[in-house]
């Protein structure tokens, strides 16, 4: 069950490195108990773009790094196509521990299990602090869980993907599908095209923001 909030485990003077260490001791919800380790965000500490997924997958849980499994590979490809440099981005998840269930019939594979509202809310202080530290210009929510964690439970990715929203967390927010939805799709090419299209909107917006910033700096 946990204490109900990761805030109970945040370092008093948070930096990304201190949080990366502290998250391993988090007991904000019960997900720590069956995961290998917490998977904290990774990437440039001054990233203009933060990419937010739902939770680590099976491979990420073992590796201790976000987006290193099949979804991560697909994300890498889409970022290249959209001309967004992943090494200049920051990737993380709304929930830091892997939630899984047993294969029906008792197989060994661990199947993804969607985090519930209690777990997402409990974990949110880590995300809030990651955003406060990195201060990205744009937060890209990958999938419904990430989007609803940031923009509220009424948000619908199918209806509102590819549009920019203001958020109380600071950066502009755009939601799109999660790469795993592309992997599950019967029409991967079409879904991948739409995903890259959404990421191109992010790349274009970054250019727009940089231009506006440069103009502001002129005498
Ligand atoms: S999922 Fe988040 S709130 Fe729950 S134990 Fe892990 S880090 Fe803490």
Task: Give the model confidence (pLDDT) of 37-74 as tens digits.
Answer: 999 999 999 999 999 999 999 999 999 999 999 999 99
The residue nearest atom 6 of ligand 1, judged by CA position, is 97
R_g (Cα) of the chain, nearest Å: 17
What pLDDT does 217 receive? 79
Vertex 209 angle, CA 204 and 211, to 5°: 95
Are 75 and 51 contacting, i.e. CB atoms less than 8 angstroms apart? yes
Kindly tell me if the per-residue pLDDT of 214 is higher than 90.
Answer: no
89 three-class SS: strand
pLDDT at residue number 46: 92
Position 82 scores a pLDDT of: 97
Q: Is 115 in the pocket of ligand 1 (CB under 6 A)?
A: no
CA distances from 3 to 7, 26, 45, 65 (A): 9, 9, 29, 25
Pocket test for ligand 1, best of 8, 29, 52, 128 (most atoms within 8 A of CB): 29
Regarding beta strands 172-176 and 164-165, do their DSSP bridges make them parallel or antiparallel, or are they unpaired?
Answer: antiparallel
Residue 107: the pLDDT is: 76
Q: Say whether domain 6-216 belongs to CATH 3.40.470.10.
A: yes
| Domain range list for the chain | 6-216
Q: Tens digit of pLDDT for each residue in 133-181?
A: 999 999 999 999 999 999 999 999 999 999 999 998 889 999 999 999 9
Please answer whether residues 97 and 32 qualify as being in contact, where contact means their C-beta atoms are separated by less than 8 angstroms. Answer: yes
Residue 219 clears pLDDT 90, i.e. is over it: no
Residues in the chain: 219
Q: What is the pLDDT of residue 108?
A: 80
């Amino acid at each position: 069950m946990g204490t109900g909030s990761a805030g109970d485990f945040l370092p008093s003077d948070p930096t990304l490195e201190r949080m990366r260490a502290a998250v391993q001791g988090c007991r904000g919800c019960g997900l720590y108990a069956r995961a290998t380790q917490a998977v904290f965000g990774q990437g440039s500490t001054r990233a203009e773009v933060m990419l937010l997924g739902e939770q680590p997958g099976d491979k990420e849980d073992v590796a201790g790094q976000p987006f290193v499994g099949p979804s991560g590979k697909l994300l890498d490809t889409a970022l290249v196509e959209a001309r967004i440099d992943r090494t200049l981005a920051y990737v993380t998840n709304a929930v830091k521990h892997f939630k899984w269930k047993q294969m029906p019939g008792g197989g060994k594979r661990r199947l993804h299990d969607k985090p519930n509202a209690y777990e997402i809310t409990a974990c949110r202080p880590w995300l809030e602090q990651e955003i406060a530290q990195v201060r990205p210009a744009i937060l890209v929510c990958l999938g419904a869980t990430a989007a609803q964690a940031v923009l509220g439970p009424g948000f619908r990715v199918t209806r509102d993907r590819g549009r920019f929203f203001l958020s109380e967390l600071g950066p502009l927010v755009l939601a799109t599908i999660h790469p795993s939805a592309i992997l599950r799709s019967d029409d991967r090419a079409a879904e991948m095209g739409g995903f890259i299209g959404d990421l191109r909107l992010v790349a274009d917006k970054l250019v727009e923001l940089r231009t506006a910033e440069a103009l502001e700096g002129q005498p």
